Chains A and B, each alone.
Chain A
Amino acid sequence: MVNALLVEGLSLHANGQLLLNNVSFELALGERKGLIGASGCGKSLTASAICGLLRPPLSIATGQIILDGRNILDFSKKEWRAVRGRHIFQIFQSPGTALTLAMRIGPQLIEAAEIAGVKNPKMTAIKALHDVELDENITEFFPYQLSGGMKQRVLIAMALILRPRILIADEPTTGLDVLTEYEILSSLNTMIEETGASLLFISHDLRVVRNVAQRTLVMHEGQILEETQVDMLMQSSYKHSKSLAKAAARLVHSC
């Protein structure tokens, strides 16, 4: 199996606190993997570290993040810029504030298309909007004129345009209603199928992860506990894995 991404012994601290402790995992080409854990366990930090988006006082203590055989933690700013977008892209937790408020949707998508180096940025942007089932006239809209679900789909359209080899989706459906959640997840599936990207799907909610990935990492207090089949989580020997599975099960039953 060929690795798309290899994270080895990643530790991260801030103000003397260890926030990620020896995190290691790999993501194969075209693989979809979940990363689950309770809020504040370090999932988003892992994502930020992989995208080089840590800001002080956060800093990486040890570890490697290998992409194409090179450790991206050693990259210069310029090298990082070349990696971002086309190789690794992230869809963030809060679609409400993620898009630039003072720019229309169109230019924001076209900017991504220019970075991806496509021939016809405008057409690419419109096609991507169609792929996530959005009308092309929203290119004229400003972010505040869109609903949260629409904004998240705009971000997925952006991912479609950029065609990254690795997409990290950090709780993309949190705070959205169940119907919108379904639409987002199917857009995301479309995107992954079309681009063949590897996906790291971060969530605290096992139900959602089950929709996009078969395998998942379980994180607890800054450490990876285990990697397992999503359906096997109930039988896990780890207390925390089990409780995550149980919480999801309870929610399904109560619906």
Chain B
Amino acid sequence: MNNFSAKKANPLQKFIFNLKKHSGLSIGIIILFAFALISLSPLFITYIEPNKMDLLARLSPPSSEHILGTDHLGRDVLSRFVAAVPVSLGAALFAMVVILAISLPWGLIAGIMGGRVDAIMMRMADIIMAFPTLIFALAIIGFMGASLEASIIGVAAAWWPSNARMIRALVLAAKEREFVRAARLAGASDLRIVFRHIMPQILPPLTVIISLETASVLLALSSLSFLGIGAQPPTPEWGAMLNEARPFFNQALHMLLVPGLAVTLAVLGLNLVGEGLRHLLDQREPYKW
């Protein structure tokens, strides 16, 4: 369409306009940014030592001394919450890196090579995907023995195949685009096609996948810690904190609320960013009826 009378907005104005229009994305970014700040805050603020027990102040409600109260061993819930940010989020991010380290080359190679290589690689992914993911992770932890490391490995082992499939689908879609086909016909090498043509195309949808998948990995890891087969006490981790709160939460609601809200908000932030980005990328509008 021709542009008769529109004034061209500059990129910054456009970006701000988009943020206003996509409030979910902005809220997500703010939440994630806040968690990043909290994880850095011990550099500037001195918290009570997260594992310091004070049995006289067990299960005490929020007070000026313990802003978010104490747990069943008299440990400060706020400092445990803060100390858990790098553990819980760090574990999820690390697991996601491992998942990508396997699934990205897997999906790229399968998608680009096609044919028999593709068939075999996808069959291998299908075998693992045939198991319910959390149950596959449980089995792996079962044989390795319960620990945060084992739960990361278990989750990565269970989560990579679906990621590989999604990445392969992105590659296949990118491969069909006309300019990629043209580059191929013009004799560009596979490697060049991957890095010059396919990667830039799959990167935007890939960020959507990474964001949403990190959310689900975080949920899985904290669930495992909650079940007592992930992070082990006394490590501060949100799921583990909730597990420890189980016998006491009727007496100390703050022990239930703080770690639960932490997981929910972190997952929410990641989901909002993922959904928001997806919305930005797909602007088709339905017919009105």
Is this pair of chains taken from one and the same complex?
yes
- A contacts, CB < 8 Å to B: 14-19, 21, 40, 52-57, 77, 221-222
A39 to B287, CA, bound (A): 22
A89 to B289, CA, bound (A): 15
Q: From residue 240 to 289 of chain B, which have CB atoms closer than 8 A to chain A?
A: 285-289
- Using A19-B1, A55-B286, A55-B288 as known contacts, list a sample of 17 further A-B pairs with CB atoms less than 8 Å apart, ordered by residue number in A: A14-B1, A16-B5, A17-B1, A17-B3, A17-B6, A18-B6, A21-B4, A40-B1, A52-B288, A53-B287, A55-B285, A55-B287, A56-B285, A57-B285, A77-B289, A221-B2, A222-B2
Interface presence of B116 (CB below 8 A):
no
Residues from chain B with Cβ under 8 Å of A56 in the complex? 285
Residues from chain B with Cβ under 8 Å of A14 in the complex? 1
Q: From residue 1 to 18 of chain B, which have CB atoms closer than 8 A to chain A?
A: 1-7
A16 to B288, CA, bound (A): 21
Q: Nearest Cβ distance between residue A237 and chain B, in whole angstroms?
A: 22
Residues from chain B with Cβ under 8 Å of A222 in the complex? 2, 4
Closest to A14 in B: B1
Q: Nearest Cβ distance between residue B284 and chain A, in whole angstroms?
A: 9
Q: Considering the complex of A and B, which 3 residue pairs feature the smallest CB-CB distances, nearest first?
A: A16-B6, A55-B285, A56-B285
Q: Nearest Cβ distance between residue B289 and chain A, in whole angstroms?
A: 7
A49 to B289, CA, bound (A): 14
Q: Nearest Cβ distance between residue A229 and chain B, in whole angstroms?
A: 28
Interface of B is mostly: loop
Q: Nearest Cβ distance between residue A118 and chain B, in whole angstroms?
A: 23
- Chosen A-B contacts, 20 in total, with CB atoms closer than 8 Å, are A14-B1, A16-B5, A16-B7, A17-B3, A17-B4, A17-B5, A17-B6, A18-B4, A18-B6, A19-B1, A40-B1, A40-B2, A54-B288, A55-B286, A55-B287, A56-B285, A57-B285, A77-B289, A221-B4, A222-B4
Residues from chain A with Cβ under 8 Å of B285 in the complex? 55-57
- B contacts, CB < 8 Å to A: 1-7, 285-289
Q: Nearest Cβ distance between residue B108 and chain A, in whole angstroms?
A: 32
A173 to B73, CA, bound (A): 80
Residues from chain B with Cβ under 8 Å of A77 in the complex? 289
A53 to B285, CA, bound (A): 12
Residues from chain B with Cβ under 8 Å of A53 in the complex? 287
Residues from chain B with Cβ under 8 Å of A18 in the complex? 4-6
Closest to B9 in A: A16
Q: Nearest Cβ distance between residue A120 and chain B, in whole angstroms?
A: 28
Residues from chain A with Cβ under 8 Å of B3 in the complex? 17
Closest to B283 in A: A57
Closest to B7 in A: A16
Residues from chain B with Cβ under 8 Å of A17 in the complex? 1, 3-6
Closest to A223 in B: B4
Q: Nearest Cβ distance between residue A44 and chain B, in whole angstroms?
A: 11
Residues from chain A with Cβ under 8 Å of B287 in the complex? 53, 55
Closest to B289 in A: A77
Q: Nearest Cβ distance between residue A207 and chain B, in whole angstroms?
A: 26
A222 to B5, CA, bound (A): 12
Residues from chain B with Cβ under 8 Å of A221 in the complex? 2, 4
Residues from chain B with Cβ under 8 Å of A19 in the complex? 1
Residues from chain A with Cβ under 8 Å of B2 in the complex? 40, 221-222
Q: Nearest Cβ distance between residue A5 and chain B, in whole angstroms?
A: 21
Residues from chain A with Cβ under 8 Å of B1 in the complex? 14, 17, 19, 40
Residues from chain A with Cβ under 8 Å of B289 in the complex? 77
Closest to B286 in A: A55
Query: Do residues B6 and A15 form an inter-chain contact, with CB atoms below 8 A?
Result: yes
Residues from chain B with Cβ under 8 Å of A55 in the complex? 285-288
A56 to B285, CA, bound (A): 6
Q: Nearest Cβ distance between residue B280 and chain A, in whole angstroms?
A: 14
Residues from chain A with Cβ under 8 Å of B7 in the complex? 16
Q: Nearest Cβ distance between residue A15 and chain B, in whole angstroms?
A: 7
Q: Nearest Cβ distance between residue A113 and chain B, in whole angstroms?
A: 20
Residues from chain B with Cβ under 8 Å of A15 in the complex? 6
Residues from chain B with Cβ under 8 Å of A21 in the complex? 4
A148 to B275, CA, bound (A): 38
A204 to B154, CA, bound (A): 61
A80 to B2, CA, bound (A): 30
Closest to A48 in B: B287
Interface core residue of A16, A77, A222 (most chain B CB under 10 Å)? A16
Residues from chain A with Cβ under 8 Å of B288 in the complex? 52, 54-55
Q: Nearest Cβ distance between residue A75 and chain B, in whole angstroms?
A: 12
A21 to B3, CA, bound (A): 12
Interface core residue of B1, B4, B286, B288 (most chain A CB under 10 Å)? B1
A19 to B1, CA, bound (A): 7
Q: Nearest Cβ distance between residue A22 and chain B, in whole angstroms?
A: 12
Q: Nearest Cβ distance between residue B139 and chain A, in whole angstroms?
A: 40
Closest to A19 in B: B1
